[in-house]
Homo-oligomer: A and B are copies of this chain.
Amino acid sequence: MLRAIRGEKVERTPVWLMRQAGRILPEYRAVRNSVSGFIELAKTPELAAEVTIQPVDLLGVDAAIIFSDILVIPEAMGLPYEMVEKRGPWFPNTIRSSSDLKKLRVADPNEELGYVLEAIQITKKALNGRVPIIGFAGAPWTIFAYMVEGSGSKTFSKSRAALYLDPDFSHKLLEMITKSTIKYLKAQITAGANLVQLFDSWAGILPPTQYAEFSLKYIEEICNAITEVPVTVFAKGAYFAREALGKMNCDTIGLDWNMSISESRNLIGPDKALQGNMDPAALYGTEKSILSSVDEMMKEFKGCKHVANLGHGVYPDIDPEKVKLFIEAVKSFK
């Protein structure tokens, strides 16, 4: 995978899945049921390492992404969250104005996120170089959206309102998140991450001009700061930002399943590796339809730097056998 990203010769296209650590595997659910919930699992380094490695052994993916959550950053900044079964994350407190900023600090990852770093170290040792470890963080806009909203949302009205009502406050909070994220990613790299990915899950909810001002600016700051390992940026839905992302100081751009591969390649240019982008719903299909979807994707990416993946995280109710079929089909593609 690292060679593919650098554009060196590879025997075949590397493949992994977003959300591969967890959800779909019965072996994951067994570990998950041995503790009180998602957050306890993420905070127990031995178990986090175990579920990180499971898909390498059970599915045959070419990378291990550390089992964690993008919302550990708000927590490390002073804004704890809970994970409510079937409803998602929930923050008892939110950040809505400049005066709320006093409640927050720039995260010190060695102090507050030691459990993630320890999970990476244990994973590193256990993997013994078999596959690279992917560290990750949320992009500042996505983290901002949760901290202001206090939960997931269809419209993220409160977070988007803040951008119009108080751009000054918005930039201050985004700056604090950015500083925390840079420290956090660097600590993950020191602990053993071989590459890092930024997830801008709510990229697609902003108009292009706001996205440039309130998201791309901070992604760029992070890309410029992380020089130690390759950086992947996955900005879901931000089709309008592909050209700008192509100019960033990063190595790989993630594509979602709406993005035409050839158009994206033209907009982004030949230098970046592209990651993605089969429709996650295609794995609900028949064996025949899955093989045909893989074939279509692989043909379109052929001849350029490519890391095979879905266009979003694997859906929780997908049959692991279908995931294996996807992985095997990528691996055997000629």
Q: How far is the CB of A164 from chain B (nearest CB, A)?
A: 3
A contacts, CB < 8 Å to B: 155, 157, 160-161, 163-165, 204, 206-210, 237, 239-240, 257-260, 263, 279-282, 284-286, 289, 293, 296, 311, 315, 317
The interface residues of chain A, by DSSP majority, are classed as helix
Residues of B within 8 A of A260 (CB): 208, 240
Q: Knowing A258-B207, A258-B208 touch, does A281 contact B240 (C-beta < 8 A)?
A: no
Residues of B within 8 A of A209 (CB): 296
Which one of A163, A280, A293 has the highest number of Cβ atoms from chain B below 10 Å of its Cβ? Answer: A163
Once the chains are docked, how many angstroms separate the CA of A97 from the CA of B210?
43
Q: Knowing A160-B281, A240-B260, A281-B155 touch, does A286 contact B204 (C-beta < 8 A)?
A: no
Stoichiometry (number of copies): 2
Q: Knowing A204-B258, A208-B260, A284-B157 touch, does A289 contact B240 (C-beta < 8 A)?
A: no
Q: How far is the CB of A91 from chain B (nearest CB, A)?
A: 19
Cross-chain pairs A/B with CB under 8 angstroms, 11 sampled: A157-B281, A157-B284, A160-B281, A163-B281, A164-B281, A164-B284, A164-B293, A206-B258, A208-B260, A239-B239, A240-B258
Partner pick for A258 among B161, B237, B311, CB 8 A cutoff: B237
Residues of B within 8 A of A311 (CB): 207
Residues of B within 8 A of A157 (CB): 281, 284, 315, 317
Q: How far is the CB of A147 from chain B (nearest CB, A)?
A: 17
Once the chains are docked, how many angstroms separate the CA of A258 from the CA of B164?
16
Q: Knowing A207-B258, A237-B258 touch, does A285 contact B315 (C-beta < 8 A)?
A: no
Q: Knowing A208-B260, A260-B208, A315-B157 touch, does A164 contact B240 (C-beta < 8 A)?
A: no
Are B257 and A207 in contact, with the CB atoms below 8 A? yes
Once the chains are docked, how many angstroms separate the CA of A164 from the CA of B292?
11
Residues of B within 8 A of A237 (CB): 258
Residues of B within 8 A of A259 (CB): 240
Once the chains are docked, how many angstroms separate the CA of A296 from the CA of B208?
13
